[in-house]
Chains A and B, each alone.
Chain A
Amino acid sequence: MRECRIVSKRFDTPNSHTLKVAKELGAYSAIDIAFGMTPVEIIEIIKESGLRGKGGGGAPAGAKWELMPQDQKRPSYLVVNCDESEPGTFKDRQIISKDPHLLIEGIIITCYAIRAKDAYIYVRGEYYQFQKILQDAIDEAYEAGILGSGVDITIHRGAGAYICGEKSALLESLEGKRGHPRLKPKQKEPEWYFGNPTLVNNVETIASVPYIIEHGASGYREFGTPKSPGTLLFAMSGHVERAGVYEAEFGTPMMEYIDHYGGGILGGKKLKAVIPGGASTAILTADEVKLATLDYEHMRSIGSALGTGGMIVMDEDTDMVEALKNLLEFYHHESCGQCTPCREGTGWSDTILDRVLSGRGSSKDIDKLLDLANIMDGKTICVFAPAVAIVIRSFIGKFRSEFEAKVAK
């Protein structure tokens, strides 16, 4: 398996979060290259590189950047999404705590390309200890004159709401409101922050920009697959020997990744299932995992999604009904409450599974859960409820006998 270090290249060096060490290892060298190009040229390179959003959606980044107006009639903003709350996902915290200067460098280049003067980094409230490292790095960059003359960066701390990872909910939160997702526009347009054009990108997406500027679009495309170029900070948690974040190129076989970096299944047990890309992607059985490769197209072709690349690994002893209950509690707690199907559906399905687990369930309950999945799917403002539907359907669809055994007693 090929070593790929695009965003994690400085992670292993002691004190890589400090300006001195980061600079010695090449930080900020992409800025001068970028400033030698026009903003439009940078956007072209990002488009050619095929860089895709690394927060879970995988939308092409360049196409999003291109929506930002270059005319400067109104101020433009860059918002960096570090709300990282998808269960199984813990990669962006590695960047902000181990190589914050890479993110700052990416922000400066991105702001130049979209003609923004202000960038906000929205960091989930619980990450305060990592936020402090990032703030120290920003302060160092200001002192060194790297920031302040063209770009200002402000960290905005969240306060515990999963939904704020959804970009429009994040912007609502950044405007001082509840994190309620906004209706999607009919046509393609930028996001809006207090009515101003705004680009929202995940931390890792922005942290990938300096490499692309330095090595060109073709340099980035040396990794990954034609449609999913480059790398991702994939992660493993749950029943693996060495859980953690390890960068790998798209297209890597999932099992190879789990064995190579994760050291196999914990305690030498057998694999039962993997939730491949954060909780909100369809669960895969062990047989599916053996054939799966880690890229957007393949994961979609097998009825799941790459998502954030945060894999939750489960061994043969895992109770799938308990596991689904755990996730439904999560969704029940985190539904923002704006849309009725989601607010009621997540609570109701959680209650049903509670009944099943307490031994008072009936076979009708399994069908009722699937009914609820249909009720939640496609009838809400954001993709939260459809994701819950996917989770319910995939758990019951692939492990139905375990659910039936619980209601038969």
Chain B
Amino acid sequence: MSPDIVDKIEELKSKYPSPRALVLPSLWMIQYEDGYISLDAIDEISELIDTPPMEIYRVATFYTMFNLEPVGRYHIQICKTLSCSLRGKSEVLKRVAEMLDIGVGETTSDGKYTLSQVECLGSCGTAPVMQINDIYHENLTPEKAEEIVDSLEKESI
């Protein structure tokens, strides 16, 4: 854990009635720094916020956005809930899966992409939608999704 995170956690303590409140913020910081949350990192957080490691692990395993295993550099998450499904989510998913030659829940062998299906992203009015890392891509068609994934490919060369 970088000294930067340690400082940030200390700083955040003044904003909450108890350091226990910092479980989620700490896990987020770790995930941004390491790409995922390791047991070692949980031990480190535990000492900083005076919360047993098991309690933090319980939390980390509850929330779907926390990755307990490394994921690809681009985590592509396609929304599968009703509004996206009604507006053509399946075709988008099919196209992206074919392009990357992986199935849902898999990571490409070069570690670049992970493909996931997720529940409602709260973007129903611009369905179908996919989230790549922190950014939403909305009003998708298979063609548009292909262009977006293509642009990632170029970006990463």
Residues of A in contact with B (beta carbons under 8 Å apart): 75, 84-90, 93, 118, 124-129, 152, 154, 156-162, 173-179, 193-194, 196, 235-239, 243-245, 275, 279, 310, 312, 314, 318, 323, 326-327, 329-330, 333-334, 336
Contact = CB atoms under 8 A, between A and B. Distances in A.
Given A176-B22, A178-B59, A312 B125 contact: no
B82 A243 contact: no
10 contacts: A93-B122, A124-B122, A129-B135, A159-B28, A161-B62, A162-B120, A176-B59, A177-B55, A237-B125, A238-B127
A90 B125 contact: yes
B28 A90 contact: no
Contacts of A235: 124-125
A166 to B, nearest CB: 14
- Report the 7 A-B pairs with minimum CB-CB distance, sorted nearest first: A176-B23, A159-B63, A237-B124, A160-B65, A160-B64, A237-B83, A243-B125
A152 B119 contact: no
A402 to B, nearest CB: 16
Given A160-B65, A175-B20, A152 B15 contact: yes
A176 B122 contact: no
Contacts of B120: 85-87, 162, 279, 330
B111 interface: no
Interface string B72-90: 0000000011110111000
Nearest to A77: B17
Given A237-B83, A239-B87, A318-B86, 19 more contacts: A85-B120, A87-B82, A88-B82, A90-B124, A118-B15, A125-B63, A125-B65, A126-B131, A154-B16, A161-B64, A176-B24, A176-B51, A176-B55, A236-B125, A238-B124, A243-B83, A243-B127, A312-B86, A333-B119
A178 B20 CA distance: 12
A156 B81 contact: no
Contacts of A196: 17
A126 B122 CA distance: 9
A238 B83 contact: yes
A129 B28 contact: no
Contacts of A118: 15
Residue in A86, A126, A236, A238 whose Cβ sees the most chain B Cβ within 10 Å? A126
B62 A88 contact: no
Given A176-B51, A177-B23, A89 B64 contact: no
Given A85-B122, A157-B24, A312-B82, A177 B65 contact: no
A314 B59 contact: no
B63 A160 contact: yes
B100 interface: no
A336 B135 CA distance: 26
Contacts of B105: none
A160 B136 CA distance: 15
A347 B40 CA distance: 33
Interface string B97-138: 000000000000000000000111111111100010011100
A219 B94 CA distance: 52
Given A159-B27, A159-B28, A127 B122 contact: yes
B45 to A, nearest CB: 10
A208 B87 CA distance: 32
B70 interface: no
Contacts of B16: 154
Contact of B65 (A126, A162, A318, A330): A126
Contacts of B82: 87-88, 238, 275, 279, 312, 323, 326-327, 330
Give the residue among B62, B64, B121, B127 with the most A Cβ atoms within 10 A.
B62
Contacts of B122: 84-85, 89-90, 93, 124, 126-127
A314 B15 CA distance: 45
Contact of A243 (B15, B22, B126): B126
A266 to B, nearest CB: 9
Nearest to B27: A159
B18 interface: yes
Interface string B37-49: 0000000000001
Given A158-B63, A175-B18, A129 B136 contact: yes
A157 B58 CA distance: 18
Interface in B1-57: 15-18, 20-25, 27-28, 49, 51, 55
